[in-house]
Amino acid sequence: MAEEYQSIGSERVKHLEMIQTVIARLANEAALSKGWALTVSSAFFGFAAHSLSPRVAAVGMLPVFAFWWLSAYYLRAERQYRSLFDRVRRSDATVEVFCMDARGESVDSWRKTLCSPTLGMFYGVIVSVGVILIVVGICKT
């Protein structure tokens, strides 16, 4: 397979461009999910703070965890495609020409991805605000 890439360099470049397009799309979707997480949680937490309702704050935590999982999914998939990109870039003989299957790529586990610094800090702050609102709401009632 590596010989095929060396003899047809333009196809290898096209393959890399295809993978890079997927990586860019996954990064965009991850950014959008973070924006939606912030918007939805702000709405719930705003209502919870106004009414001092721990139940509303607790319900507002559900979409935060859902968006956290979704962001982790996009980040893990992006890492898999980056690994595939590196293998194609290095002319790995085990990668078929124009192969876009990145499922077999070795990346961090789901747990490590969920707790990665980029996701952990972003969603950790949102969860902390939710927990504070729940505690304040319980103490005030």
pLDDT per residue as tens digits for the range 97-139: 777 777 777 777 888 988 899 999 999 999 999 999 999 988 8
The pTM of this model reads 0.83
User: Which phi and psi angles does 94 have, rounded to 5°?
Assistant: -85, -10
Q: Residue 5 has what pLDDT?
A: 46
pLDDT higher than 90, residue 9 = no
Average pLDDT across the chain, whole number:
87
Q: What is the pLDDT of residues 71-101, one digit of tens each?
A: 999 999 999 999 888 888 887 767 777 777 7
Distance between CA atoms of 128 and 79, rounded to whole angstroms?
27
DSSP label of 96: P
Q: Residue 44 has what pLDDT?
A: 95
pLDDT higher than 80, residue 7 = no
140's tokens: 């005030």
Of the candidates 126, 128, 5, the residue with the CA atom closest to the CA atom of residue 63: 126
Distance between CA atoms of 94 and 114, rounded to whole angstroms?
30
The answer to whether 124 and 68 have CB atoms below 8 angstroms apart is no
Which own/partner contact pairs does 40-48 have at CB distance under 8 Å and 24+ positions apart? 40/64, 40/67, 41/126, 41/129, 41/130, 45/129, 45/130, 45/133, 48/133, 48/134, 48/137
- What is the span of the domain harbouring residue 62? 2-140
Place of tokens 């605000």: 129
Percentage of the chain with pLDDT > 90? 56
Give the chain's domain count. 1
